[in-house]
Structure 1
Amino acid sequence: MYAAFCRGLFEADGTVLAGVPSITTSSRSFADELRTLLLTLGFVTTTRQVGSGWGGTMMLVRLRNIAYALRFNEEIGFLSERKALLVAPDRSLQSGNRDRIYLPAAVWLEVIPVGHSLRGRVQQAVARGVGLSRDLAEKVLEATGDPRVGYVLGYVFEQVAENEDGGVQPTFDLSVPSNVTYVASGFLAHNTIGFMMDCDTTGIEPDFSLVKFKKLVGGGSMQIVNQTIPKGLAALGYQAEQSEAMVEYIAEHGHVIDAPGLRPEHYQVFDCAMGERAIMPMGHVRMMAATQPFISGAISKTVNMPEKATIADVEEIYFQAWKVGLKALAIYRDNCKVGQPLSTGKSSAPIAEVEKAVTEGRPVRRRLPKKRPSETVSFTVGGAEGYLTAGSYPDDGLGEIFVKMSKQGSTLAGVMDAFSMGISIALQYGVPLETYVSKFVNMRFEPAGMTDDPDVRMATSVVDYLFRRIALDHLPYEKRAQLGIFSAEERTAQVAADYGPVDGDDQVDVEGMRTSVDASSVPPPAPEARPAPISVGSSTELLELQMGKAADAPLCMTCGTKMRPAGSCYVCEGCGSTSGCS
């Protein structure tokens, strides 16, 4: 596992300098950890600080010399042939003595007798105080067989970086009692790591399925077929032609049942965690029970259970795991999550349900009867005259509009007719009228200005006037209040309620005004009824809740808060600024 990690790391970011594998990193701590990892595998390295091409510093981790480089190519190696061919002894400028081995000088001179061919080289190394090279120490061991030399050859020596008093340090007792037989294991693999390593599975975790689909983070899925099936068939004695036909069948169906030429007694060889031939949950438990005595902690393995597993089944698995001595147990029931990274196949059921829901939710047009009530309003906006005809359903509710402008050409007449038809058809298909009102009021274009309507004295455009008039005629007071659209009488009543009546004869019934539109369909509220609280997510929504919506209200140039209409101008509720008239 360590070697596979180093292989991928050196392939992605490593290089070969003068025939020796090397790698650079900007992190000193990572360089130290990598050096420790390589030392665990028996590779001695050197680490030094070098300059980078952009003016910074990098840590260069490099094998000690070419002797380790050759073994690196054999035990770790590179994935690409190009880098592997660069590791060559004839290209290296370093010697192959590897690292140094240290023993007291008296021991070295005692081991090598006077007159021995290696005596001179040993005396020279002892006199220099640098220790014997590993190559020379191995030759001494081969010549003398001294166990002291063999013992120190099992260690890798490093130079002392500093010799200072570290003060009082905590001490831990790492001794193991005599009655403990567990062996500590610090590295356990998951199937997820297997994807990165290009392995079907690692450790004692069985493959999820012979053919599985992995859901990708960015969307879509990837089909993965087990790569060891041909090897397994060859080990069972099947010929290449038979194996090829079986692999094609498995890739198409996802299992081995009824595969051409495969004997039924061999089905169990290809059992997986999920699928047509799934390992029983107790099979996972027994596998972990076989390995638990050799591991000091929990086991990195999951007990896969089918989708139909019940609470009683899970309880029984935990009970059996306790009986066989497992320290921990992880259970996964198939499809227990909304999004599952691995599955045995693509399901089309959700797609069918979505299509069915879309079909059932298709809008239906509610046509107006041949004879229906309607009313026509003449209006003037900025000197431009026009007529608005609104047709309603017999049980009330706007169903169509027609707009006619005076002094209009054929082009504008066609545009207004098309606009009226689009609004009418949408209303008959169920689009709420308040949706159109909130979108079209406050649209600004010419002609605009004063109108002859006492309820709508100013309009920013013809469309703005039309939908304000339609809202006043066909929307109840509560919905118009949210949009900030009131009649002249309602505005007068509101002023009277806020500041008191002007005189006794001009009292206005506000509640009567609120129920004047569609009185039969909007009953008055009960005395004890209280409106349900409305959740407010932002300051803008709070202002809209209190003062109504202003579709085209600008943002305040001082504080950036959305402004509200105040007569013909706008005022900011945040800082008090106005758009020009105060």
Structure 2
Amino acid sequence: MMKQVMTEIEVRETARERKGLEFSRYFSQEGKSPYQQVQWETRTASIGNDKGAVIFEQCDVEVPADWSQTATNIVASKYFYGKPGSPERETSVAQLVHRVVDTIAGWGQAGGYFRTPADAENFRDELAHLMLSQKACFNSPVWFNVGVQEKRGYGWVYDRAGDRVRQLEDGERRPQCSACFIVSVKDSLESILDLAKTEGMLFKWGSGTGTNLSALREENAPLQGGGSASGPLSFMKGFDAFAGVIKSGGKTRRAAKMVILNADHPDVEKFIWCKAKEEKKAYTLAEAGYDAALDGEAYSSIFFQNANNSVRAADEFMEAVVSDAEWWTRSVVGGQPKDRYRARDLLRMIAEATHQCGDPGMQFDSTINRWHPCKNSGAINASNPCSEYMFLDDSACNLASLNLMRFTGPGGQFEVEAFRRAVETVILAQEIIVDNASYPTERIAQNSHDYRPLGLGFANLGALLMSLGIPYDSDRGRDYAAAITAVMCGQAYLTSARAAEAVDPFAGYGRNRAPFLEVIRMHRAAVDRIHGGNIPSDLWQSARSSWDEALELGARAGYRNGQVTVIAPTGTIGFMMDCDTTGIEPD
């Protein structure tokens, strides 16, 4: 009892000792509301289906005048809070941005992130400007759930006063904010059914999840109590069915899943072909006259349509392909060799199945873990549905993206300093969210607090390169993309180091300091491989200086976050930001 009391006293002392961050303005002006700097107009938001019927309509929607009709339709139909036609229904982008931005700024001030109330106000106005001007956007769960008056979360939360995670109490509003989850599973029926429940609750509040099923014993492997195992593919059918009937966030999009199997799992061949074989059934049904649309009868009657599948391969597998060597799968339980393949034959199967239906993809385990900054806490085994977020099992990541086209000047030049300041603002907002959100399991809540992984990315790269007259598939295009990515990631880690200096490093940093700094140095070394002659000098110098500063300060103060950047597909939020191209894709 005394130990717990002392812990709480120490936590309160630490909170009092936090000096907080100074936060200056760049985009906004003191004494002028960012909302008053916007020209507003009212429109009707309307969406029709492929048969011409109106499936959503809201009149008198207030939006910034320079937002497109597409952005208007998306924000009104997806993100406005409240039942359509009810008094609590949001009618303005200003209401939406106020709800989210003011909530996050309030959390930041209460959490000791800012040195003074003026710094918190500066942060709030800067963040509001970025959202209103379509320079940046949070992932969908933030817009769905942050600041609403009803309970929009489930499970477990971090309790700052007690410095522990606990279950969410009845009536307590702690929203689910992360779009990406990685959830582990053990080789037991209880764990498998727990995974189904966890996934269902994540889908309910608008998130996606990924799991590596390689821990599940192979089909026909003996069970301890007698009988034989049905294998991971049988359980995939159940997970797939739940995902198909639970619409993400209660909205109109389906749930998102990633399923991974290691290349040495005995069921890997069945896994490679499972989706291609099911889609052949859909082709047959379509030829017989069944509706072949995405939600039509042909595809809704087959399995494996609600997940992305990926085979996870280590360097050993790829080296076996190069040398045309044998490849053995191994039993999950005993580790003994099971089936022998030519490695090239297995890779050919992956290629042919992918050519037929788009799955499975591949994840390169050795490379992923080589760049893993928290190696001492465990390996990276899985990813989120779109495969951009890779971290420890039972972890979560809230995403945000920057619209690169909104950082071009009158002459088309990329405004590097504005971009860096936007990175600083958004990554801090994402960091503030971590301890104020809810999580579906105790372990995910604990890992989120202990490691605090974030996912800042960008969109509209293809459009930016097109506007600059730079071919996407060119050395110049790749160097430009690499430099922008280096600035974003370096500035994000620099901001994380500043937050660590002002608040604290993440709890898992101490045990991971050596591998963490090793990965930061790897990033810095990679910047030197960018050809500076292919890009503007200010962009080139910023890429170098951001990493120099991130390494220098981080080596001294640590980092607040276990990782900071990803490049997500930016589907729905890409439309909200009026992007011509999503994520890193070409025009």
TM range, normalised to the smaller chain?
Answer: under 0.3
Task: Pick 1 or 2: higher relative contact order, CA cutoff 8 A, min separation 6.
Answer: 2
Query: What is the TM-score with the length of structure 1 in the denominator?
Result: 0.19
What is the TM-score of this pair, normalised by structure 2?
0.19
